[in-house]
Amino acid sequence: MKKLFFALFFSATLMANAQLCTPDTTIKVPGFYPSQLADGAVGTPYNQTVMILSFKDTSAIVGGSKQKVTIDSLKLTKVIGLPTGMGYVCYEPRCIYLPSAVRCIKLNGTPTQAGLFPLKFAVTAYAKLNGFFPVAQPDTIKNFSILITGTSGVATIHENNQLSVFPNPTKDILHVAHHSGRQPQIISMTSSVIPMNWELQNGLWMAQTQGLPSGVYTVFVGGINRIWIKE
């Protein structure tokens, strides 16, 4: 009887989770999606679905040398940097994701502080070397931020180095935020400053980048720089 009750409870839980989060089966490239998370506001409920397609292989340090290993599963251990009042929900047991299909998590809650919050998805890849020897390789996915505006409609930056550049890499639109509010500069590999049409909205600088050639650039603001890749 107990086994039957547990089976029915587990099935009902899976059905409820499936209704809350429907994976996007059109995603074929491993990674975390979407590339840009929705903005939020203080005191307003926030709900953002993040799709995950686990990587199939990675590099791990084995015996002092870097080797390619095949991933069995990817475990999300923590989402770091969420604003106060927000958390995340996994829809897979123990937040473990297999490379075979797209799965999802949700970032939700009601934020109580305004700012630009760069996020870090801390994961551990469980893999096998040569198909037999188990290894665990920690990693961090860093190319995400949430912009939360306050009653004034202005956000500050919550990051020790006080400069955020995202998405990175990107094809179309670049967002830059710096504690000083100064307009950024894009510098090429040949040290040339590239003219850009910047727009400032809610403390966040934005520029269209479709006209730039693909390559590696430097974003420079107030004595701090970040490497940025144009796809």
pLDDT tens figures, 73-88: 889 999 988 988 999 9
3-state SS, residue 19: helix
Amino acid 107: pLDDT: 93
Confidence band for 61, pLDDT divided at 50, 70 and 90? low
Q: Are residues 115 and 168 in the same domain?
A: no
Do 39 and 118 sit in the same domain of this protein? yes
203 compared with 22, residue with greater pLDDT:
22
Question: Does residue 9 belong to any structural domain of this protein?
Answer: no
Q: Is the pLDDT of residue 226 over 70?
A: yes
Question: Same domain for 78 and 122?
Answer: yes
In terms of domains, do 51 and 147 share one? yes
Q: Do 179 and 139 share a structural domain?
A: no
Backbone dihedral angles phi then psi of residue 103, each to the nearest 5 degrees: -130, 175
Q: Which of 151, 176, 206 is the last residue of a domain?
A: 151
Which tokens belong to 127? 């893999």
pLDDT of residue 197: 92
Identify the band that residue 3 occupies on the pLDDT scale cut at 50, 70 and 90.
Answer: very low
Q: Is the pLDDT of residue 187 over 70?
A: yes
Let me know whether 130 and 54 are in one domain. yes
Long-range contacts of 96-101 (CB under 8 A, 24+ apart): 97/52, 97/54, 97/73, 98/54, 98/72, 98/73, 98/74, 99/30, 99/53, 99/54, 99/55, 99/56, 99/71, 99/73, 99/74, 101/23, 101/25, 101/53
Is the pLDDT score of 46 beyond 50?
yes
Do 193 and 133 share a domain, yes or no? Answer: no
Same domain for 54 and 143?
Answer: yes
Range of the domain at 215: 159-231
d(CA 142, CA 144): 6
Does 172 reside within a domain? Answer: yes
Q: In this structure, is residue 216 part of a structural domain?
A: yes
Give a yes or no: residue 73 inside a domain. yes
Question: Within this chain, do residues 168 and 136 fall inside the same structural domain, yes or no?
Answer: no
The pLDDT assigned to 97 comes to 84
Residue 56 carries which side chain, given as an amino acid letter?
K
| CATH assignment of the domain containing 120 | 2.60.40
The confidence score (pLDDT) of residue 158 equals 54
Q: Report how far residue 20's alpha carbon sits from residue 43's, in angstroms, rounded to the nearest whole number.
A: 22
Q: What is the percentage of the chain residues whose pLDDT exceeds 70?
A: 80
Question: Is 125 a residue whose pLDDT tops 80?
Answer: yes
Which of 151, 168, 203 represents a domain boundary (last residue)?
151
pLDDT beyond 60 at 1: no
Q: What integer pLDDT is reported at residue 155 of this predicted model?
A: 53
Number of domains in the chain: 2
